[in-house]
Amino acid sequence: MRELRAIGSRVEFDPRRYWNDRHEQTRGLDGVGFLGLRGLNDWMYRVRRRVFARAVRQTGIEVGPARVLDVGSGTGFYLERWRELGTSELIGSDFSDVAVERLRGDFPGVRIESLDITTEDPASLEPLGTFDLISVMDVLYHVVDDAAYARAFANLARLLRRGGRLVFTENFLHARSELNHAWHTSRTLEAIETHLRSAGLFIERRQPWFVLMNEPVDSDSRLHARAWWVMRKMSEKVPGAGFAIGAGLYAPEVVLTRLLSEGPSSEIAIARHT
């Protein structure tokens, strides 16, 4: 774990190298989720499964006949979700060679592409065609460079057919201003909407991805920050604690993510191509 933190704290951040190293050093959901949370990370993925399925239904697009692309597939959690939801034409992708190789082994029936969504060569996307639905889950806040971030949305818009929907997660800060770390950046809702608009995309719907079970990056409540810190430390240090915390919070989390329209943490958004 210490090695992974060292990778993230490099002064010159090289995203592809960071993710190749991270995928090489880990297997399963630990490699793509919140580092070190053990059992709590598994419960966080159970919440994601519920909230993702709900968001896909809300797009109003019939999944069965849709062409679907998942960007930054990592270990393939959302490839499994799309298959569960009945997608017949699914493409997975990642810019990490390690992830792509493993995905090809783990999902023999799914086409897996090596794809950097921030590419400066949009012509390289043409062979993929266009899609009815694209998912980009917990990827975009890892694009720390602003020019690359703008290119990511421009490329996503190229890959979406008109009327298609982009389902993605972001931190959409409104209680705070931009937060920068070596390997992730939390941008404001306003900044993200500006990037989306420039690409011809607009948000139709946005709701919490997490309320209690993730870092409250978009809250100025010290109590909430403290509660998260305690949960995190217990999950990291006490065997079984992460699982117990996750099991206790799962049902309230599923309800709160449905009821609230703004969250203190990451959110899931549906954007439409105009």
Ligand X SMILES: C[S@@+](CC[C@H](N)C(=O)[O-])C[C@H]1O[C@@H](n2cnc3c(N)ncnc32)[C@H](O)[C@@H]1O
184 binds ligand X (CB under 6 A): no
Give the C-alpha separation, 72 to 117, whole Å: 8
Among the listed residues 41, 96, 155, 266, the single contact to ligand X using CB under 6 A? 96
153 binds ligand X (CB under 6 A): no
Among the listed residues 78, 153, 183, 209, the single contact to ligand X using CB under 6 A? 78
103 binds ligand X (CB under 6 A): no
Among the listed residues 37, 59, 72, 213, the single contact to ligand X using CB under 6 A? 72
Among the listed residues 56, 91, 110, 117, the single contact to ligand X using CB under 6 A? 117
Residue among 73, 75, 96 nearest 20 (CA): 96
56 binds ligand X (CB under 6 A): no
Among the listed residues 143, 192, 231, 269, the single contact to ligand X using CB under 6 A? 143
Instruction: Identify whether the C-beta of residue 159 lies closer than 8 Å to the C-beta of residue 199.
Output: no
210 binds ligand X (CB under 6 A): no
55-88 per-residue burial string, b: 16 or more CB within 10 A, e: under 16: bbeebebebeebbbbbbbbbbbbbbebbbebebe
Specify the 3-state DSSP secondary structure of 89.
Answer: strand
Tell me which stretch binds ligand X (CB under 6 A): 79-87, 90-98, 159-167, 262-270.
Answer: 90-98
Report helix, strand and coil shares of the chain as percent, to nearest 5: 45, 20, 35
Give the C-alpha separation, 231 to 219, whole Å: 16
Residues that bind ligand X (CB under 6 A): 15, 19, 32, 71-75, 77-78, 94-96, 99, 115-118, 137-139, 142-143
